[in-house]
């Protein structure tokens, strides 16, 4: 197939659409991606892409076309400028494309408007468009503190409703998205397919770690408000007496500095911040972990999501300790791979850590995680399902 992909974020930004597109290319498909000028996650345009440099690139079989984008700068005004600059520029670019593609895949994280380029090409050229929904809108706004009665929420509710209804197929990364789309936007079940995210193959075999005398629990990923990592710090404060216990936070984001200040104020010597690390170094960090940590806020909309880090944790064969509601506790329970406390409940999370420390089945928990991953979340399963979905659309 000839596949046109739109994704606001792409290499060299750390984003899963890169592996998705390159794997499609490896499987014999012609792939072109319309994406932004790299500025994620810190919000500043990468120096090597300033001044209209590298607007057209080839990488691992994928043609990359970059359109005008304003850096987000971690500022509310510039974030909206970032959202709309890519939305408008990608739609204009897509309408001008001369190439004939069989089908369109719009990778949709945040904001929902990033799909407009895919819809623009599909409408002009009478091609079917599938959305791959990683973030659910406007649920993400509510989770971020925007009230459902606010004008901003109501605006994006209408925008989301219009865009989701225009898609020919909606591929969801969490089973709980289905009910939200059905109940809020009256989208029929027949239009929705389940396509959970997969982990990079780099976690299939971790490097060997030598003997150590600590128990290391690790969070890896974006360090933002939605991740509620204050829950981890509060639990670490309660677990000071566990002498050899260490909490590791690997990643960067809007809350990192605030969390570091809390850790310093509380003198939490058992919490270690590593900052953002390149993807190729992550397996060595996973390897040193005795268990992996995932936490989310108690917002009911956030609970609908299944963050991709969960698949990565399970691919690495690591037990999972969580503080979350909704989809995550269901997956952990189904897999039998760890312990889960309610979201934002630091006392219960500390107790879950104690359960893990006291468990004689730590190795079994890790084996269960890997077994569940192999049954539900492998790249091969993902790609076969995605190809079937796109081929079915292309035939219509």
Question: pLDDT tens across 273-287, in order?
Answer: 999 898 889 999 999
67 confidence band (pLDDT: 50, 70, 90): very high
Dihedral-angle region of residue 32 (phi above 0 means left; psi in -120 to 50 means alpha; beta otherwise): beta
Query: Is it the case that residue 61 has pLDDT exceeding 80?
Result: yes
Q: With contact defined as beta carbons under 8 Å apart, do 103 and 390 qualify?
A: yes
Task: Provide the mean pLDDT of the chain.
Answer: 94
Which residues of the chain are in CATH 3.40.50.2000 domains? 2-198+378-395, 201-376
pLDDT of residue 264: 96
How do residues 201-247 score in pLDDT, each as one tens digit? Answer: 788 888 888 889 999 999 999 898 889 999 999 999 999 999 999 99
Query: Is it the case that residue 162 has pLDDT exceeding 90?
Result: yes
Q: Which CATH number fits domain 2-198+378-395: 3.40.50.2000, 3.40.50.720, 3.10.20.30, 3.30.2130.10?
A: 3.40.50.2000
The predicted model gives 369-391 an average pLDDT of 95
40 confidence band (pLDDT: 50, 70, 90): confident
Domain 201-376: homologous superfamily in CATH: Glycogen Phosphorylase B; (3.40.50.2000)
The predicted model gives 42-49 an average pLDDT of 90
pLDDT of residue 31: 98
CA distance 9 to 19: 12
How do residues 345-363 score in pLDDT, each as one tens digit? Answer: 999 999 999 999 999 999 9
Q: Where are the alpha helices (DSSP H) in the chain?
A: 17-26, 76-96, 116-125, 139-143, 151-166, 177-185, 230-238, 256-265, 282-288, 308-315, 327-335, 346-358, 362-376, 379-395
Q: With contact defined as beta carbons under 8 Å apart, do 223 and 229 qualify?
A: yes
The predicted model gives 371-385 an average pLDDT of 94
């Amino acid at each position: 197939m000839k596949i046109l992909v739109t994704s606001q974020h792409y290499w060299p930004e750390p984003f899963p659409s890169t592996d998705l597109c390159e794997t499609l290319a490896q499987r014999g498909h012609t792939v072109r991606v319309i994406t932004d000028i790299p500025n994620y996650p810190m919000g500043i345009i990468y120096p090597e892409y300033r001044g209209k440099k590298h607007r057209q690139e080839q990488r691992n079989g994928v043609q990359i076309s970059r359109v005008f984008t304003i850096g987000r700068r971690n500022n509310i005004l510039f974030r909206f400028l970032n959202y709309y600059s890519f939305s408008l520029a990608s739609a204009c670019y897509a309408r001008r494309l001369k190439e004939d593609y069989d089908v369109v895949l719009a990778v949709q994280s945040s904001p929902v408007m990033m799909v407009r380029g895919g819809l623009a090409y599909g409408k002009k050229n009478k091609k079917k468009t599938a959305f791959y929904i990683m973030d659910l809108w406007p649920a993400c706004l509510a989770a971020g503190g925007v009230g459902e009665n606010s004008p901003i929420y109501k605006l994006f509710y209408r925008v989301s409703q219009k865009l989701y209804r225009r898609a020919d197929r909606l591929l969801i990364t969490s089973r709980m998205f289905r009910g939200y789309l059905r109940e809020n936007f009256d989208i029929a079940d027949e239009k929705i397919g389940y396509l959970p995210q997969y982990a990079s193959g780099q976690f299939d075999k971790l490097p060997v770690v030598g003997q150590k005398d600590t128990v290391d629990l690790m969070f890896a990923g974006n360090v933002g408000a939605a991740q509620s990592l204050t829950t981890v710090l509060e639990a670490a404060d309660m677990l000071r007496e566990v002498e050899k216990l260490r909490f590791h936070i690997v990643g960067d984001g809007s809350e990192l500095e605030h969390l570091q200040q809390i850790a310093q104020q509380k003198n939490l010597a058992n919490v270690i911040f590593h900052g953002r690390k390149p993807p190729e170094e992550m397996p060595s960090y996973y390897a040193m972990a005795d268990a992996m940590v995932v936490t989310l806020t108690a917002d009911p909309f956030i609970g609908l999501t299944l963050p991709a880090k969960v698949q990565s944790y399970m691919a690495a064969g690591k037990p999972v300790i969580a503080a979350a509601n909704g989809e995550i506790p269901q997956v952990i329970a189904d897999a039998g791979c760890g312990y889960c406390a309610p979201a934002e409940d630091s006392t219960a999370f500390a107790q879950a850590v104690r359960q893990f420390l006291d468990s004689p089945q730590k190795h079994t928990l890790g084996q269960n995680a890997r077994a569940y991953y192999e049954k539900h979340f492998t790249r091969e399963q993902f790609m076969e399902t995605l190809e079937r979905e796109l081929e079915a659309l292309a035939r219509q």
